[in-house]
Structures are given as structure tokens and as C-alpha cells.
């Protein structure tokens, strides 16, 4: 298809649709504003290619006859079947001497209007993308950066089509159940809420999906609540939640910080029997208390006589004074109980790093029957209700271990869940700790995206706060550190040479993380320029421009340098720029960063 293989450069990235579904490749292309071609090859030798222009698909071609333009126009009601037949006969005669495109002929003959032809080309492209998305998981892909595999085929593609409106149709065609379950599983204990910066119109959803999404504006909903109240079939509701997640249209709210005034409160008891307190500081309902709705709509708790502590709680308090550590058994405990105490504490510390097979002490090829037998054998030892009274202080730790074992058992004895889990295990995400790490990465990427939005709005204080949070959640991303350094440098109190040097050191570390971090080079160039290190500044600007030829600000700095005839050494340091002069113009097209940006690194 297209150019002979010997004329192509080496692919910049490659992989399989099993690891990186086609929908994820499209989102990656949008975020990185890719210009180049993705070519896919199915196991049955079917091939297809998609040309991207600044992140948007512009042309798509398949080796099989998929979505002819004339039939698409008929399906859309813009062309009659008889007119299609006549135009195809005329086109066949013309092509004996001229390579005229069908759309050009239809437009010339006045059989379609320009806007009808554009709608047909858009739908034709969408159908071909759906065809690619439905290819088997074993399909391989290769991305050729800034190379047009489809050169000479079809019309000139000067600009692409926004693919966000096509994603819903693509997801419904794709076999992504494992990816969907894994992604929703990572946020299963959190709630989803429509983000303030969401642009839902671009998704091109139908009325039913739009009505379901409006529920997330009213109040946050968990992944399990959303299908129940959305009015959609469960599969469609989960698919819609997944779409909102991967396109970053929703905020993920940790269960410890979310409030759901309209949902009924439920009692939550600690193992000792006393009312538990949520991480955010709000007490849960004590046993027997009835929620009442306050005038503002939020549930309030009616006073109730305190419940006396249970015998287990009393034992726990008598063994340990306030602030004492429970990692070691108390003095005077028997050897057997001390051994069991230590085993419980040690296992609770490491259980989240184990995969489900290790939790149940099984080999990877263990059968369903093996998992059943192993779990029931372990339950005799690890069920918290079987603990003697002396071990009550470590009951929570034992409950944690048993909860993980129950989770492992439920997964390994269910064929469908086990199949999905084996995919996660193969990708290195089989342990709860790794899944938590992925969740932190997702949260960090979301905060960084919000920081970019605030940055463009010149809300620098909020941008810095979000950027600091993103760095704390995922300190491996050079873009996060680079933007944080730049935001710090914009503060009025940080205009001194000493403070600028500290910010440059932060940018040096970002460059050490990745020598392809465009932001780090550009911001370091700006700071080097601020302190009069013009030669270093121009090197950074040129490197930023090399990494992203569309960086208008870097191009301007290089152009001004060339107009001045090269670097000039100033005898006096330049005047420190004010905060307003250093703030970027609103709408600057910065490179998007996030967890999806890691897909090509697999």
C-alpha cells in the first residue's frame, strides 16, 4: 500500500492492538499532534493506513473494499442510486485518460453540494476507522513520523478531521472489554464528575448518552452506580464511562474526599464496633441513627446515645496505650501468639505487592479447583473472625489480608475475570500496588492537564498548585517538572539571579529525565536569556524548535537571534522581566502529556 517499503524510514513506534488499541492510538495522535502515518497489518494479511495532519486523521485506506464514497453519499441521502450508477459509468470512461476523483466529478456535475461532499468524506473516513478498530487484537501497527505512506493516493489532505466525534462509534466496534474492565477497575472506589474544562459536544453523542452524562453534572457517581441510574444498557454505560475517562472529560474523585449528598448514607463500622471516620474527617452514621435531610439537601445525623465499646475494643485499648506501635506483639504474649501476630503484620505489609496467584500460594497454571481448595484452606487461618481475643489489635491487618485473598479467589475461579486478569498480569499490572500506581499516574496526568488550562488562562497560582500535585503523584514526567520550574520563575519574588539559577537547575533535571522534553529546553532558554546567557539560551531555543517545529515562540527567538547577527554579550545584565511579560499567550498549543503518552513506549 502506498510507497514501496524500501522508501520508508524506520517506524518511530510499533506494537499490537492488543496492548494499544486503535482508539488509544487516535487519542495519542491528538495529544501529541502527530503528523505521519499509522499502518496496520492484520494476521490474515489485511492492511490499512491512516494519514494524520497535526493529530487529526486526514485520509484512510484499506486493502479491502471498505466504504466507497458514492455509496456513503447514497446512505446519507445526498445522492440517488440512479445518479450514482450514471456517475460511476462516466467516471470509468474519464479514467481511461485522466485520474479524476469520484467526489470531484460529482461536484463538477452538480450532483452534490460542497457541504454534502464534505459530510460524505467525513463519514467515509469514520467508517474506515471503525473497520481498522475492529481488526483482531493480534494486528500489528507501525507509526512513520512525518512520512506519508498514502502520498499520491486520493485527494490532497491539507487538514484532518476531529476524531473525537468518531470515538463513540469506534469503541462500539472494538473488542476492548479487557482494557475497559481494567481502567474502570482502577477507579472502582472513586466517583466520576464532569470536569469543568470538559467539551462534551466534540464527542458527538446521541440524546440518550447525553442525558446519561448530565447525571454526572448533578452529582458524582461511582462506576457501579452510573450504569444503574443512567438508563443505558450496562455495557453501553460502562463504555460511556470509559470514553469519558480516556478523553479526560471527567474528574476522578477519591472516595475519601467525595461527598454524595443525594445518595443514602450507610452505616460503616470498624472491626471493633465503634463508628468509623472517613479519611476526609466526616463521621459515618452510627448504628441505629437515621439520616435527615437538611434544608440545603445534605444528610445530617440525628444525635444518638454513644454505643459502648465492644469487648474486643476494650482488649485492644488495654493492651496498647495511646500512640503505642502495634507492629510488634506486646510483652508477655505466648510464643505461638507472638509468631502469629508477626506473621499477620508482615503479610499485611506485603500483600498489595503480590499478584493473585501469590496471594493464594498457587502456581500460574493452577486450575479453578486449585484456587477453590487453596482459598478455603487459607480462610481457616486468615479469616478475622477466627482470631483469638489476644490478636484483636491486628484484626484490621488480618482483615486486609483476607480481603485481598477473597478478591484473588473471586477472580481466579471466574473464567471471564481470570482471562482479563491474565492480560493485566502479562502487562505487569497484576498487583494491587501496581494498579494503585497506575491510578496515581492517571490522577497526575489529569492534574497536569488542568494546570495547563489554568496556565493558558493566566491563573498562575492555581496552575502552580495543580502542577505541584502532578509532580508529587508522578515525579517521572519531565513536562510536569519543567512547567513547575517555569511557574515558580514567574513569581515576582523569584526574579533574582539566585532564584533564577535554582529554576534553571530544576530544568536541568527535567532535561536529564528526557532529552526530548521540549518544554524544559524552551523554558530554560527563556531563563538563560533573562540572566544574559545568550549562547546557552539560543542553543535551548534551537533544540526546542528541533523537537517541535510548531513551537512559535522558540521560532521567534531563533529568528530574532539570526536577525541580530548572532549572540551578543551584554556588559550589564538584562532587566528582569515582569510576571505579565513572561506569561504565555492564551491558546498556545503546548504538547499534551499524560498516561496515554506512554503507549508508544511499550
Q: Tell me the average confidence (pLDDT) per consecutive run of 10 residues in the chain, 602 residues long.
A: 62 90 89 91 92 90 87 88 87 78 86 88 89 90 90 72 85 78 86 87 85 82 84 86 90 61 32 33 32 33 38 39 58 87 89 88 90 88 87 88 88 88 77 72 87 91 93 90 94 90 94 91 94 92 92 90 64 39 41 40 39
Right CATH for 177-253 from 1.10.1060.10, 1.10.10.10, 3.30.360.10, 1.20.1300.10: 1.10.10.10
Query: Could you give the CA distance from residue 3 to residue 153 in angstroms, rounded to a whole number?
Result: 10
pLDDT of residue 412: 92
Which helix (H) or strand (E) is 234 found in, with range? helix 234-246
Burial code (b: 16+ CB inside 10 Å, e: under 16) for 319-331 equals beeeeeeeeebee
pLDDT of residue 49: 93
Spatial CB neighbours of 163, under 8 Å, sequence gap ≥ 6: 26, 29, 30, 56, 57, 129
0.85 exceeded by pTM: no
| Contact (Cβ atoms closer than 8 angstroms) between residue 263 and residue 291 | no
pLDDT of residue 448: 92
pLDDT of residue 285: 28
Asked whether the CA dihedral 388, 390, 395, 397 is positive or negative, the reply is: negative
Query: Could you give the CA distance from residue 156 to residue 334 in angstroms, rounded to a whole number?
Result: 83
- How many CB atoms within 10 Å of residue 45? 7
pLDDT of residue 175: 62
pLDDT of residue 100: 81
Give the Å distances, CA to CA, from 285 to 290, 299, 301.
8, 10, 7
pLDDT of residue 478: 92
Helix, coil or strand: residue 275: strand
Query: 471-601 maps to which CATH number?
Result: 1.25.40.10
* E runs forming strands in 209-311: 221-222, 250-253, 291-293, 299-301
pLDDT of residue 87: 87
Residue spans per domain, the chain: 5-162, 177-253, 315-430, 471-601
pLDDT of residue 47: 93
pLDDT of residue 322: 42
- CATH topology for 315-430 is Helix Hairpins (1.10.287)
pLDDT of residue 416: 87
Residue 300 pairs with which residues in a beta bridge? Answer: 292
Amino acid at each position: 500500500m502506498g510507497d514501496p517499503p524500501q522508501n520508508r524510514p524506520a517506524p518511530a513506534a510499533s506494537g499490537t492492538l492488543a496492548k494499544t488499541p486503535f482508539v488509544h492510538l487516535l487519542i495519542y495522535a491528538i495529544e501529541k499532534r502527530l503528523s505521519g502515518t499509522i499502518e496496520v497489518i492484520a494476521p490474515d494479511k489485511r492492511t490499512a493506513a491512516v494519514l494524520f495532519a497535526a493529530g487529526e486523521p486526514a485520509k484512510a485506506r484499506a486493502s479491502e473494499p471498505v466504504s466507497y464514497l458514492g455509496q456513503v453519499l447514497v446512505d446519507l441521502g445526498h445522492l440517488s442510486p440512479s445518479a450514482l450508477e450514471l456517475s460511476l459509468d462516466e467516471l470509468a470512461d474519464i479514467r481511461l485518460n485522466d485520474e479524476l476523483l469520484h467526489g470531484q466529478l460529482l461536484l463538477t456535475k452538480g450532483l452534490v453540494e460542497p457541504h454534502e461532499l464534505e459530510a460524505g468524506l467525513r463519514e467515509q473516513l469514520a467508517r474506515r476507522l471503525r473497520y481498522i478498530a475492529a481488526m483482531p487484537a493480534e494486528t500489528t501497527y507501525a507509526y512513520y513520523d512525518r512520512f506519508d505512506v498514502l502520498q499520491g493516493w486520493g485527494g490532497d489532505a491539507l487538514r484532518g478531521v476531529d476524531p473525537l466525534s468518531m470515538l463513540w462509534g469506534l469503541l462500539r466496534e472494538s473488542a476492548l472489554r479487557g482494557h475497559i474492565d481494567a481502567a474502570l477497575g482502577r477507579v472502582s472506589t472513586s466517583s466520576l464528575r464532569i470536569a469543568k474544562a470538559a467539551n462534551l459536544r466534540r464527542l458527538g453523542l446521541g440524546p440518550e448518552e447525553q442525558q446519561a452524562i448530565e447525571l454526572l453534572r448533578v452529582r458524582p457517581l461511582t462506576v457501579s452506580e452510573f450504569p444503574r441510574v443512567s438508563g443505558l444498557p450496562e455495557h453501553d454505560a460502562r463504555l460511556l464511562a470509559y470514553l469519558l475517562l480516556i478523553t479526560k472529560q471527567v474528574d476522578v474523585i477519591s472516595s475519601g474526599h467525595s461527598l454524595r449528598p443525594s445518595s443514602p448514607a450507610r452505616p460503616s463500622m470498624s472491626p471493633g464496633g465503634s463508628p468509623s471516620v472517613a479519611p476526609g474527617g466526616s463521621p459515618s452514621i452510627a448504628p441505629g441513627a437515621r439520616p435527615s435531610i437538611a434544608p440545603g439537601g445534605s444528610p445530617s445525623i440525628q444525635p444518638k446515645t454513644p454505643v459502648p465499646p465492644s469487648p474486643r475494643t476494650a482488649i485492644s485499648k488495654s493492651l496498647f496505650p495511646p500512640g503505642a506501635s502495634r507492629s510488634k506483639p506486646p510483652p508477655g504474649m505466648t510464643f505461638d501468639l507472638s509468631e502469629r501476630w508477626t506473621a499477620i503484620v508482615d503479610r499485611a505489609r506485603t500483600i498489595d505487592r503480590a499478584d493473585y496467584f501469590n496471594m493464594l500460594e498457587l502456581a500460574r497454571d493452577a486450575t479453578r479447583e486449585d484456587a477453590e481448595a487453596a482459598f478455603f484452606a487459607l480462610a481457616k487461618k486468615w479469616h478475622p473472625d477466627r482470631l483469638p481475643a489476644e490478636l484483636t489489635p491486628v484484626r484490621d491487618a488480618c482483615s486486609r489480608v483476607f480481603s485481598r485473598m477473597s478478591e484473588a479467589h473471586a477472580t481466579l475461579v471466574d473464567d471471564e475475570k481470570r482471562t482479563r486478569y491474565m492480560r493485566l498480569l502479562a502487562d505487569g499490572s497484576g498487583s494491587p500496588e501496581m494498579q494503585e500506581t497506575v491510578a496515581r499516574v492517571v490522577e497526575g496526568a489529569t492534574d497536569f492537564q488542568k494546570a495547563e488550562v489554568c496556565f493558558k488562562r493566566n491563573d498562575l497560582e492555581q496552575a502552580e498548585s495543580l502542577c505541584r500535585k502532578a509532580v508529587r503523584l508522578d515525579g517521572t514526567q519531565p513536562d510536569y517538572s519543567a512547567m513547575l520550574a517555569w511557574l515558580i520563575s514567574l513569581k515576582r519574588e523569584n526574579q533574582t539571579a539566585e532564584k533564577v539559577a535554582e529554576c534553571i537547575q530544576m530544568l536541568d533535571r527535567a532535561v536529564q529525565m528526557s532529552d526530548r522534553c521540549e518544554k524544559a529546553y524552551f523554558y530554560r532558554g527563556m531563563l538563560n536569556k533573562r540572566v544574559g546567557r545568550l549562547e546557552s539560551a539560543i542553543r535551548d531555543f534551537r533544540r526546542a524548535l528541533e523537537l517541535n517545529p510548531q513551537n512559535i515562540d522558540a521560532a521567534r527567538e531563533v529568528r530574532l537571534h539570526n536577525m541580530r547577527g548572532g549572540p551578543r554579550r551584554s556588559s550589564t545584565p538584562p532587566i528582569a522581566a515582569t510576571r505579565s511579560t513572561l506569561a504565555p499567550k492564551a491558546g498556545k498549543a503546548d504538547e499534551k502529556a499524560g498516561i496515554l503518552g506512554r503507549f508508544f513506549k511499550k
